[in-house]
A and B are shown apart, each in its own frame.
Chain A
Amino acid sequence: DADVTQTPRNRITKTGKRIMLECSQTKGHDRMYWYRQDPGLGLRLIYYSFDVKDINKGEISDGYSVSRQAQAKFSLSLESAIPNQTALYFCATSDLGGRDEQFFGPGTRLTVL
């Protein structure tokens, strides 16, 4: 079984809709991250959490919100989706106190029409 899972794997939605992407991990890691990947732009950090009570904005947090429901669960919400949020979204985990080596989920391909 995969250590980091994401649901859904693919989603097509319309402008203005609220969307939630979910991430679960069985690695027992404290840190969890949400990244966005656009063609030619590498990975950009949206939000990250170092433990259940900790939420931090990344470089592109506008239009997004997150919730850390438990050590193993970290969800990303798009309150009112817009077309330029069409992208690949990745969840990742890392171990507290290590070198922040990242373990990624399989990704969610989101299309906003």
Chain B
Amino acid sequence: TQLLEQSPQFLSIQEGENLTVYCNSSSVFSSLQWYRQEPGEGPVLLVTVVTGGEVKKLKRLTFQFGDARKDSSLHITAAQPGDTGLYLCAGHRGGYQKVTFGTGTKLQVIP
């Protein structure tokens, strides 16, 4: 059973466009992480959001945690070819639980 659904599954856009990736669940998480995986490499942690409604910015990337802590979004402004990769969200339920990874969104930014 996949607890975290990401949409869209695939996204191909032109350089300079904006985009939003969604991570949705019916479960409540104490925190939510976003990772980016480039071809041939392992995923790398981008950010962790922990408070309902929290917004974090990382250069052109904006991450938001839903008020009810069941969902999150990643918005990229003026996408660059270097943003190309697989974006994964992962939810943590706190305590000694392990994270649960989402289904992933594969992004291609065309120069």
Contact = CB atoms under 8 A, between A and B. Distances in A.
Chains A and B bind each other: yes
Interface of A: 4, 31, 33, 40, 42-43, 45, 48, 50, 90, 92, 94, 96-97, 99-107
Interface of B, helix, strand, loop or mixed by DSSP: loop
A99 B98 contact: no
What 7 pairs between A and B have smallest CB-CB spacing?
Answer: A104-B42, A42-B104, A100-B99, A43-B101, A99-B31, A99-B92, A42-B103
A103 B73 CA distance: 22
Interface in B14-66: 30-31, 33, 35, 40-45, 48, 50
B76 interface: no
Nearest to B50: A99
B33 A42 contact: no
A104 B92 CA distance: 17
B33 A101 contact: yes
A11 B92 CA distance: 33
Contact of B44 (A40, A104, A107): A104
A31 B92 CA distance: 15
Contact of B41 (A40, A99, A106): A106
B88 interface: yes
Nearest to A33: B98
Nearest to B101: A43
A56 B103 CA distance: 22
Given A92-B42, A99-B31, A100-B99, 10 more contacts: A43-B88, A99-B48, A99-B92, A100-B98, A101-B33, A101-B99, A102-B45, A102-B90, A106-B42, A107-B40
22 contacts: A4-B42, A31-B98, A33-B98, A42-B88, A42-B103, A42-B104, A43-B101, A50-B96, A90-B42, A90-B43, A96-B96, A97-B96, A99-B31, A99-B48, A99-B50, A101-B33, A102-B33, A102-B90, A103-B45, A104-B44, A105-B42, A106-B41
